Amino acid sequence: MCGIVAYIGGRTAEPLLIEGLKRLEYRGYDSAGIATIEGGALRVARSVGRVSELEERLHEAGGFAGSLGIAHTRWATHGGVNEANCHPHRDDRNGIAMVHNGIIENYASLRTYLEEKGHTFSSETDTEVLAMLIGELYEDDLERAVKAALREVTGAYAIAVICEKEPGTLVVARKGSPLMVGVGNGEYVVASDASAIVAHTSQAFPLADYNVVRITREGFRTSTIDDTPVTPKISQLELDLEQIEIGTFSHFMQKEIFEQPKVLATTLRGRIDRNEGRVVLGGLANFSKELVKARRFILTAQGTALHSAMIGEYLLEDLAKISAEVEFGSEFRYRNPIIEENTVVVGVSQSGETADTLSAVIEAKDRGALALGVVNVVGSTMARETDAGVYLRVGPEIGVASTKAFTGQVMVLTMLALYMARRRFMSPDVCARCLTQLEAVPDKIARALETNDRVRQVTERYVDRDNWLFLGRGYNYPTALEGALKLKEISYIHAEGMPAAEMKHGPIALIDDGMPAVFIANQGRQYEKVMSNIAEVRSRGGHVIAVATEGDTEIAKVAEEVLYIPECEEFLSPMLAVVPLQLMAYHAAVLRGHDVDKPRNLAKSVTVE
Ligand code: M6R
């Protein structure tokens, strides 16, 4: 939800900022802008559309030469997608320019106050209000003005500010939206995430909430908005360039689907002790006593992460025999939730920055729950706000459609369920058998990926259909939801996922001879029931595409198309069954000519509620 990059050092800022914006473009891509200070004067360029359009505009203008600059790629919240609303925004008196990620909630009253003071606004954004407020409070010290302004605002922000009266100073600050400072040799790169930093330095520190950093070419100083000095901890970035390069793939989503076997092996590495028949989760070590006493788990998430949380619910109940439930973060917080003693809340999030999920976890923690994070991005807000957690270790996910994070989340939740089961009642032998099966999953996913050509052929056959159903039962009901979400978000085809049995209670009315219905019909406790549901669709003219277990010849007699996945224990099947669904969505988007990695209206991490 908006990407920020800023630079101060000895190099020309513009190419570095543009390259950084391209890395961050997955966070928002409806418009982009840049400001530098050149010869003591601000230069600003803004453009609706992709970063490449801004780049072209800069090229036509002969480029910007300054070595201090800020840049932004936007996902619109306040105000439509037009040039006036693009960042950077400026004040109208002191040559201040600012980029912002987040939402200033009290912007309307601040705007009225500033208008009364004679300021004139040129956009509809909350960001311009903050830029103007900094300008209003500016005397001769940018850092002081930024702090004074931030003490007046409510909401969330990550900001980078420059001022032509102080051409050697960059001021950045954060509350609620992520921001990191990369510390190079006589230069600094500030960005929303490490992907825009790692090409320049591997040393960085994340800003904590309410922290402000004043950076010059000579050094930096960190303090809170109330002027209390802070000593940040600079550490090595856990990211290398190869992880964020597309390589030989056509899209990041494709790369991320195909790297699942490799990254899931990393998710498991060092966490399985088959000899002792147990899962070793170092991140939970300090809370094992509390976890033994746990009586109820609440898993909270949004989007794809919610689907993996739903699988987590099944896993915790089925394997660990512990009460579990799933909540949309966005709903949980506003419902006056009841948190009894020995409740564990688990926030599931790839980015660790999703505002709805974060606020739910914090709410539950404030009400006495033990808060765990199942998070991919190391050092993210969720990772820091929770008591303990388990990282996915699937590497950066850049495609907006989440794929490897989904399987990574399910993998971690499976380990969590086995960890709980073992502490409660499961014998080492039984656990060791489950772990052997779990360790086989990466190789089985590699085999499921061999369906790629077949999935493309099947997708080609139905890609012109505008309405699809995805149906599954038990563990694979959430997989059906995930298949429908993937198709919707990147191919813009309307799709609904539901429990297969629910179809008879209404949605069956939609079935006609144009409707593809994708069934997850792997071998398991509900296989026969799913077969009956398939028959119900076929007898009404619907087209059945089945995801089934290798060796199942019966299914080919009832389904028009079958996509086979390797045999596995039922509790592991979502990690395999989702693979052809991810591929199907990918091929549908490519066949329909859409921008796979940057679907319309979406952004990778949703940092506003
Ligand atoms: O970063 P998170 O996992 O918390 O993000 C949650 C959702 O916004 C995310 O899964 C979204 O639904 C994806 N675009 C789905 O592909």
| Rounded average pLDDT over 557-586 | 97
Domain-located, residue 608: no
**The pLDDT of residue 609:** 75
User: What is the 3-class SS of 197-219, one letter each residue?
Assistant: CCCCCCEEEECCCCEEEEEECCE
Residues 423 and 454 in one domain: no
Domain shared by 236 and 377, yes or no: no
In this structure, are 238 and 286 located in the same domain? no
- ω into residue 337 within 30 of 0, thus cis? no
What is the atom index within ligand 1 of the atom nearest the CA of 401? 16
Q: Are residues 238 and 315 in the same domain?
A: no
**Mutation pick for ligand 1 pocket among 177, 252, 402, 586 (CB with most ligand atoms within 8 Å):** 402
Say what the pLDDT of residue 607 is: 76
Q: How far apart (Å, rounded) are the C-alpha atoms in residues 264 and 269?
A: 9
Q: Is residue 600 part of a domain?
A: no
Rounded to 5 degrees, what angle do the CA atoms 163, 54, 202 make? 70
User: What does 22-76 look like in DSSP terms, one character per residue?
Assistant: HHHGGG--SEEEEEEEETTEEEEEEEES-HHHHHHHHHHTT----SEEEEEEE--
Q: Is 584 a residue whose pLDDT tops 90?
A: yes
Tell me the pLDDT band of 350, cut-offs 50, 70 and 90. Answer: very high
Nearest-atom index, ligand 1, CA of 403 = 16
Q: Are 167 and 192 spatial neighbours (Cβ–Cβ below 8 Å)?
A: no
Which of 205, 220, 243 is where one domain is finished?
Answer: 243
Co-location of 376 and 415 in the same domain: yes
Counting residues of the chain whose pLDDT is more than 70, the rounded percentage is 100
Quick check: is 2 catalytic? yes
Q: Sign (positive/negative) of CA torsion 56, 61, 65, 70? A: negative
Distance 410 CA to ligand 1 centre (A): 14
Burial-class residue 141 by CB neighbours within 10 Å (0-12, 13-18, 19+): middle
- Give percent of the chain with pLDDT exceeding 90: 88
Asked if residue 604 is part of any domain, the answer here is no
CA angle 462/464/467 to nearest 5° reads: 80
Decide which of 222, 243, 264 is a domain's last residue.
243
Q: Is the pLDDT of residue 58 over 90?
A: yes
DSSP 466-532: SEEEEEE-TTHHHHHHHHHHHHHHHH--EEEEEEGGGGGGTGGGG--TT-EEEEEE-SSTTHHHHHH
- Split at pLDDT 50, 70, 90, the class of 608 is confident
- Contact at 8 Å (CB) between 175 and 210? yes
Measure 489 CA to ligand 1 centroid, in angstroms: 11
415 Cβ contact list (under 8 Å, min separation 6): 268, 271, 272, 279, 281, 390, 438
Q: Give yes or no: residues 424 and 484 share one domain.
A: no
CB-based contacts of 316, cutoff 8 Å, min separation 6: 297, 322, 324, 413, 416, 417, 420
Report the nearest-CA residue for atom 12 of ligand 1: 303
Is there a single domain that holds both residue 184 and residue 261? Answer: no
Q: pLDDT, tens digit, for every residue of 243-282?
A: 889 999 999 999 999 999 999 999 999 999 999 999 999 9
pLDDT tens, 384-414?
A: 999 999 999 999 999 999 999 999 999 999 9
What are the structure tokens assigned to 95, written together?
């040559």
Q: Is residue 477 domain-shared with residue 516, that is, in the same domain?
A: yes
Please give the residue range of the domain that contains residue 277: 246-439
Whether residue 396 sits in one domain with residue 456 = no
Q: What SS3 class is residue 113?
A: helix
pLDDT at 374 over 90: yes
Q: By C-alpha distance, which of 57, 56, 67 is closest to 16?
A: 67
Using the atom order of ligand 1, give the atom closest to the CA of residue 301.
4
The verdict on residue 147 lying in a domain is yes
Residue 603 lies in a domain: no
Q: Are residues 361 and 376 in the same domain?
A: yes
Tell which one of 353, 375, 605 to mutate to probe ligand 1, the residue whose CB is within 8 A of the most ligand atoms: 605
- 444 domain-assigned: no
Please report which confidence band the pLDDT of residue 241 belongs to, taking 50, 70 and 90 as the band edges. Answer: confident
Q: Whose CA is nearest to atom 4 of ligand 1?
A: 349
Q: 229: burial class by Cβ within 10 Å (0-12, 13-18, 19+)?
A: exposed
The two structure tokens encoding residue 453 = 């050509």
- Name the domain count of the chain: 3
pLDDT given at position 79: 78
Expressed in angstroms and rounded, the spacing between residue 310 Cα and the centre of ligand 1 is: 14
Q: Which residues line ligand 1 (CB under 6 A)?
A: 302-305, 349-351, 354, 357, 400-402, 489, 605-606
* Residue 607 included in any domain: no
Backbone phi, then psi, for 462, in 5-degree steps? -115, 5
- Do residue 515 and residue 550 come from a single domain? yes
What is the dihedral sign for C-alpha 269, 255, 605, 480? negative
Q: Mean pLDDT lowest for which of 69-83, 179-193, 248-262?
A: 69-83
Active site includes 568? no
| CATH number of the domain that residue 135 is part of | 3.60.20.10
CB 195 within 8 A of CB 24: yes
CA distance 445 to 394: 14
Q: Which atom number of ligand 1 is nearest to the Cα of residue 402?
A: 16
Q: Please check whether residue 143 lies inside any domain of the structure.
A: yes
Pick from 193, 252, 302 the residue to mutate for probing ligand 1's pocket: most ligand atoms within 8 Å of its CB. 302
State how beta strands 467-472 and 516-521 pair.
Answer: parallel
418 and 454 fall within a common domain: no
Tell me how far the alpha carbon of residue 109 lies from the centroid of ligand 1, in angstroms. Answer: 32
Residue 285, both tokens: 């070590």
**Domain end residue (candidates: 439, 468, 489):** 439
CATH of the domain at 401: 3.40.50.10490
